[in-house]
Amino acid sequence: MRRVPQQARSREMVRRIEEAARVVLVRDGYESFTTNRVADEAEVSPGSLYQYFPDKSALVTVVMDRWTAEISDQVAASLAGAGPMEVQDPATVRAIADALLAALEADAGLLRIVWEELPAARHRAAQHALERRVRELLTVYLSAAGLRSADPAARAWVIVMAVENIAVRWVLDRPAISREALLDEFTALARGLASRG
């Protein structure tokens, strides 16, 4: 962001611009995403937009940062709500997987743009930050559960990568697998990985 809005009216305008950027990115795709389209959607002049966002890249960054924070918060809340001794409880594992699916499904259009249209360099940092946050929480969770794993961090990495990639492909591809069946498979996978000695 080029400058921080000070007045309530300016903060409201920046909020509208950020929301408009998300709408335009999903509606028009990355290649057709322009600052002028965002300004039109937000009902502000291009000059007003440029006071706060210097270019298309800055707008995409804001959209990505907010979206990954939303997903991260939802998944982290599921992990934080589970007690450490519940790691092998199917209901806990299922709730965590369900939170990830719900977060990804909430804006499947943006997920598609991020996964299939944005250059990897545009979203890799945000994706890694999200993965790192969930992995750190899961590592603590696995360690506190007293599992026999020699390396809870390695096990957390495997679980996070597997669940993330399968969940993304399920949301985007919509294979002939019901949500309930997918959650059953996530539960079996995560429990198997978590309980291996």
Rounded to whole angstroms, the Cα distance separating 30 from 111 reads 12
Smallest Cα–Cα separation from 58: which of 42, 34, 37, 40?
34
Helix runs in the chain, H state only: 8-28, 35-42, 46-52, 56-81, 90-106, 108-112, 120-144, 152-173, 179-195
What is the CATH code for 62-195? 1.10.357.10
The whole-number pLDDT of residue 85 equals 42
CA-wise closest residue to 160 among 90, 72, 89, 69? 72
What are 3's two structure tokens? 């400058």
pLDDT of 7 reads: 87
Q: Give tens-digit pLDDT for 6-61.
A: 788 989 999 999 999 999 999 999 999 999 999 999 999 999 999 999 999 999 98
CATH number of the domain located at residue range(s) 8-54 in this protein: 1.10.10.60
pLDDT digits (tens, 9 = 90+) for 155-186: 778 878 888 889 999 999 999 999 999 999 88
Please report, as a single letter, which amino acid is at residue 35: T
C-beta separation of 110 from 63 below 8 A: yes
Dump pLDDT digits (tens) for 67-106.
888 888 887 777 666 655 455 566 777 777 888 888 889 8
Average per-residue pLDDT in the chain? 83
Q: What angle do CA 136, 131, 176 make, to 5 degrees?
A: 125
Question: What pTM value is reported for the model?
Answer: 0.78
Query: What pLDDT is stored for residue 98 in this prediction?
Result: 86
Extents of the domains making up the chain: 8-54, 62-195
Residues above pLDDT 90, as percent of the chain: 39
User: How crowded is the C-beta side of 132, counted as CA atoms within 13 Å?
Assistant: 6
138: nearest Cα among 65, 68, 190, 71: 190
From 22, 156, 157, 166, select the one nearest 100 (Cα to Cα): 166
